[in-house]
Amino acid sequence: MCTSVKTVNVAIIGAGPAGLIAAQKISSVFPDVHVFDAMPSPGRKFLLAGRGGLNLTHSEPEDLFLGRYGEQRSWLEPMIRAFGPEDVQRWAADLGIATFVGTSGRVFPVDFKAAPLMRSWLRQLRSQGVVIHTRYRWIGRPSSGDWVFESPEGRVSVRARAVLLAMGGASWPRLGSDGAWVDILSSAGLSVATLRPANCGFERAWSDHFMARWEGEPLKAVALSFEGISRKGEMVVSRSGVEGGLVYAFAAALRDAVERDGQAVPCLDLLPDRGYEQVVRSLSSPRGRQSWSTFLRRTVGLGGVKAALLRECADPSTLSRPDDLARFLKALPVSLSAPRPIAEAISSAGGVVRAELDSSLMLSSWPGVFCAGEMLDWEAPTGGYLLTACLATGVHAASGLVSWLQEHSRCEN
């Protein structure tokens, strides 16, 4: 039994980037916009993601940027062209947050922090009359059409002329994105693609000897290759396998391979700045009485965790000839058995499928209800692509909601 009923003009469920920017856009046109979020304060995941330096977007050429969205590019492209990287920077500037482009092409606030941007954003929303309700967990939509929440005041029923859902995926559930909405929408007959980990680490069973010495050690200046694509960067040896930026860049392809084949076997180039023939020539010098590790260090500069990884992943009996050893140094197979759990992932794939939504991101079977952000069925690598698409879909859904309300207001009059 609901203890109270709230009647509002627009209800937005989810106070992450997509929900907040939708509130900002809608409240500039319509009054009485309310945001409901299960957590004690807005933007929890956004704030934690910004602790290491808030990566807002990326400055690379537009076509390359759009290509980061893979199979869902055609869906997201018109939204990102309408609100893309330059728009993200202008939006931040309007909130008083200056940005700069780093050497990698990524765009950051000049102070690298998320908290000042969030404070300014919330001030802007309050000035536009947006009301944010925290500790409101959405639990369903009964046949009456009301939206029911568990709240500090008990069970609350919310009646709204239009609703925007922006509840995120299922990564970092302790910050609010727990994917609980999936069962609610699925039970109502809506198609939701299974939520899967994205931008995540992968599992590999290391030997006790390797783990005892090298857990947590970074693999710097290496290149990872998989399915015809190669990229240079860094990764980390973890207790469960591997993680880090270079792994995250391949996470979608690695995850799909595990699901298809039972494992993924990328190859690691331990000497990406040297060609194969150059490595063979260096390894062809006499070894003499040098230990294997000393020989590798003196001939090709390989030591530490890289040398240990070579021993861990390659059969020593196959490394006796310079050309065989060079082949493994340039393309060391590293078999991976599974992605890490979705709760550990930076983001998630899957969500409300495109077929359930019209071009304005309104649910076809629920008129007046729109979806945005990570709860839609798309994924992207880290580097500013995630946040940009969340903001872009939030802006697009907000525009659709405003148009829908304006049309219905005319009909009512």
Q: What is the pLDDT of residues 146-164, one digit of tens each?
A: 999 999 989 999 999 999 9
CATH of 5-198+344-410 given 3.50.50.60, 3.40.605.10, 3.20.20.70, 3.40.250.10: 3.50.50.60
> pLDDT value at position 2?
53
> pLDDT value at position 412?
67
Query: What residue ranges do the domains of the chain occupy?
Result: 5-198+344-410, 202-339
pLDDT in tens, 267-279: 999 999 999 999 8
Which positions of the chain have pLDDT values less than 70?
1-3, 412-413
> pLDDT value at position 287?
75
In this prediction the pTM is 0.92
First to last CA, the chain: 34
> pLDDT value at position 114?
93
